[in-house]
Every structure is written in structure tokens, then in C-alpha cells.
């Protein structure tokens, strides 16, 4: 029998379908993160929505059968599966950011599509337009905002506000910034479980002096995770900007991210889609366009899902150089810089349109400083 490990168990359990909806119990997040392996003995918990679920016994039996069938009949599983009831989501807390008018998530279905670059330059572009802006780097496991703003080695300080000691966000280019990257060794990986990451993130939100902001941008982790749920449960997010490249593989993951935010459990509006790395234009030939990662995949996806295409950002070497040097391209008077100013205008417009659809008591007024 091959060596047992948690991923092998999860692969076997993906063959167990919940009756009625056709989805497997791993996809439905019914397997708790407590898989225990002792030799050839395996135990874990299956979580049901309610204690009276009529399929409890059949699902447990199917899970036993799946492991013995797809891994080995030698695996001892019978009697080692615990049945639990999912805890209800906590009620939304009082607004932890009363001085913030609009909270915008910047998300991507996968890494490597330039999400943090878009978030950083969008923040700078909004600040250039005269708005009060904050940027939270919530990409716990790959924080890159400190480098993009050239503040990697800066120290954080606290001060007392109404009897509470609050973290003072760093300010650069008119943007207030906080990141987990300020609190960990930049040369070491962050090896935290989901709950630790979520708690650290809550602290950066609720224990910081963000003050009055027109726009609070959150650079979210790529993919879909419990950190996204933490953010939704902690904050009243105005809407989300989805970032993707034109590649089919990136667009497929973008679809999943959009489905997560628009699903019943999360239910956050999509402000629009940014197609990053849309084309490459060589500096000596500004009229030429080379579609390195595919042509207008983001345009097609936006049309297919009936969401707004906010901007197409070209591949420009200076965007990467600006991020590496701590000087975002949105600061420059260039084609690339103006593409992020355009993006800022489109985001402002999308937020305004959303606010117009809200009840009068929920609307916010945003004015330039």
C-alpha cells in the first residue's frame, strides 16, 4: 500500500457526491481540516449543514467505500469518521472602518496576472486624482506592496486614539499603506494556518488608524480561500475589481473568482474586469501591438458574464521596473501611466453607479480633497 497523506485522502473523497446537486463533498467544503493519519489508520470529520441531514449515514458510508476503493482496502477507516454540524457564520460586526466611504477588493483567480501591480497603481492613480486612499496588502503569503512602494525596510509605529493603541499606516505617494510584509522577515516564507492568517488580517484592519478615506483598496490573495470570507465578514465591501490576463487558463480561474464573489455565501458586487498584459507595444513602434498572451480574452469574458471591462493594460517594461524600484508607473505622464488614470476613472464611475442603486441611507458621497 502506498504511503498515505492528506491530499491522497481528499482525492479519494472527491468521488463522493452529495445527492441532489451533483457536487463532491470536498468541493462543498464538507471535509474539516483535521485529517489524521496513523500508519494505515485514517480519521477525519465530515461537516453537514444541519444535524438532521437525511444523507448523513449514506455520505459516511460512501466516504469509507471511496477511500478503500481508490486508495486501498487495507486503509482502516470504518468508525473513524466524525460527523459535525457546520457553525453558522457570525453576524456582521459593527463597522470597523467608520471613516471609510468605499471599500474595494482587487482580486484574481490565480497568481502571476499582475493583481498587486494593478492594486498599487490604481491606489496611486486615485490619490493623484485628489482622493484620500488607503491600500491594505491582504496577500498574506506573498506580500509585494511594500516593495512596489519602496517601503520594505520601514518600521511601523503605534499611537493612542481614544484610549486604543492603533497602528499608524505608512504613507507614500498620497496612499496610506499596511501589509503583513511589514511584520515578517521579507526573505522567509509565511507559514501560517488559515486561522492565523485571518486573525493577522483582522488586526491590520481593525487595529490601525486608517482615518478618513474615500477609497480603501484591498489587494486580496489570489484564488479563493477562507481569507476572502474573513474580509467579507469583517468589512462591508463596496465591490470587487477582478484582474486577469487574456490567457484562457487565467480566464478560467477568473470565472471561478467571479462566481465566488457573486455566490450566495459571499454576495459582493463585481465592479468590473481589468485585462492586464493585454498586448505588447515596442517603444520604437508605438502603433504596433503584439498579443503575447492571447487577444481580447478579457473583453470576451466581460461580455459573456455581462460585467464591465474597466481597462486593458498593456505589457510595458516600465510598469515592471517601476514596481521593482518602488515608483509605481501611475506617477508618470506616459501611456502606461495614463492607462491607470483611465482605470481609476472607470472604478470611480462603477462605484458611483452602484451607490445610485442603493437605498438613500446606504449612499456615500465622495469628494476630492
Architecture field, domain 6-85: 2-Layer Sandwich (3.30)
Determine the CATH number of domain 100-362.
Answer: 3.40.50.300
Report the alpha-carbon distance of residue 105 to residue 168 in Å, rounded: 21
Instruction: Decide if 6-85 and 100-362 have a common fold.
Output: no
Burial label, 262 (beta-carbon count in 10 A; 0-12, 13-18, 19+):
middle
For residue 304, CA distances in Å to 113, 171, 240, 243, 255 come to 20, 39, 18, 16, 10
| Residue whose entry in the numeric block shows the C-alpha cell 468541493 | 27
Predicted local confidence at residue 13, as pLDDT: 95
- The helix or strand, by DSSP H or E, that contains position 167, with its residue range, turns out to be strand 164-168
- pTM of this prediction? 0.70
Going from N- to C-terminal start, the domains of the chain cover 6-85, 100-362
Q: Which residues pair with 36 in a beta bridge?
A: 43
* Mean pLDDT split into 10-residue runs, the chain, 369 residues: 85 91 89 89 92 91 94 91 79 72 89 89 95 91 86 88 90 93 69 68 88 94 71 82 87 86 82 91 78 86 91 76 71 84 94 75 54
Q: Is the sign of the CA dihedral 207, 210, 212, 215 positive or negative? A: negative
Q: Is the sign of the CA dihedral 329, 331, 332, 338 positive or negative? A: positive
For the chain, how are helix, strand and coil distributed in percent, rounded to 5? 35, 25, 45
Q: Are 264 and 120 in contact (CB under 8 A)?
A: no
Report the alpha-carbon distance of residue 136 to residue 116 in Å, rounded: 11
Greatest pairwise CA separation for the chain in angstroms:
70
Amino acid at each position: 500500500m502506498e504511503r498515505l497523506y492528506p491530499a491522497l485522502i481528499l482525492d479519494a473523497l472527491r468521488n463522493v457526491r452529495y445527492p441532489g446537486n451533483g457536487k463532491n463533498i470536498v468541493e462543498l467544503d464538507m471535509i474539516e481540516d483535521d485529517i489524521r493519519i496513523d500508519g494505515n489508520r485514517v480519521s477525519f470529520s465530515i461537516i453537514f449543514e444541519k444535524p438532521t441531514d437525511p444523507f448523513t449515514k449514506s455520505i459516511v458510508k460512501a466516504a469509507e467505500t471511496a477511500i478503500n476503493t481508490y486508495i486501498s482496502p487495507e486503509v482502516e477507516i470504518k468508525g473513524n469518521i466524525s460527523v459535525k454540524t457546520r457553525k453558522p457564520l457570525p453576524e456582521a460586526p459593527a463597522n470597523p472602518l467608520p471613516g471609510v466611504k468605499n471599500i474595494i477588493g482587487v482580486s484574481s483567480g490565480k497568481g502571476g496576472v499582475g493583481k498587486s501591480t494593478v492594486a498599487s497603481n490604481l491606489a496611486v492613480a486615485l490619490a493623484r486624482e485628489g482622493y484620500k486612499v488607503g491600500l491594505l496588502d491582504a496577500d498574506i503569503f506573498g506580500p509585494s506592496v511594500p516593495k512596489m512602494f519602496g517601503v520594505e525596510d520601514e518600521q511601523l509605529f503605534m499611537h493612542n486614539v481614544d484610549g486604543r493603541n492603533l497602528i499608524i499606516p505608512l504613507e507614500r505617494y498620497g496612499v496610506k499603506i499596511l501589509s503583513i510584509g511589514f511584520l515578517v522577515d521579507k526573505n522567509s516564507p509565511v507559514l501560517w494556518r488559515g486561522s492565523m492568517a485571518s486573525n493577522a488580517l483582522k488586526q491590520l484592519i481593525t487595529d490601525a488608524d486608517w482615518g478618513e478615506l474615500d477609497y480603501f483598496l484591498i489587494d486580496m490573495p489570489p484564488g479563493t480561500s477562507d481569507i476572502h470570507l474573513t474580509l467579507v465578514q469583517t468589512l462591508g465591501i463596496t465591490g470587487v475589481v477582478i484582474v486577469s490576463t487574456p490567457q484562457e487558463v487565467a480566464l478560467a480561474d477568473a470565472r471561478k473568482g467571479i462566481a465566488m464573489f457573486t455566490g450566495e455565501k459571499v454576495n459582493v458586487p463585481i465592479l468590473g474586469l481589468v485585462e492586464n498584459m493585454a498586448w505588447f507595444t515596442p517603444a520604437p513602434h508605438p502603433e504596433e501591438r503584439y498579443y503575447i498572451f492571447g487577444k481580447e480574452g478579457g473583453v470576451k469574458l466581460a461580455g459573456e458574464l455581462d460585467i464591465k471591462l474597466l481597462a486593458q493594460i498593456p505589457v510595458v517594461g516600465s510598469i515592471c521596473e517601476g514596481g521593482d524600484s518602488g515608483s509605481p508607473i501611475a506617477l508618470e505622464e506616459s501611456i502606461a501611466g495614463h492607462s491607470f488614470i483611465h482605470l481609476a476613472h472607470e472604478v470611480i464611475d462603477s462605484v458611483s453607479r452602484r451607490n445610485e442603486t442603493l437605498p438613500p441611507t446606504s449612499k456615500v458621497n465622495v469628494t476630492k480633497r
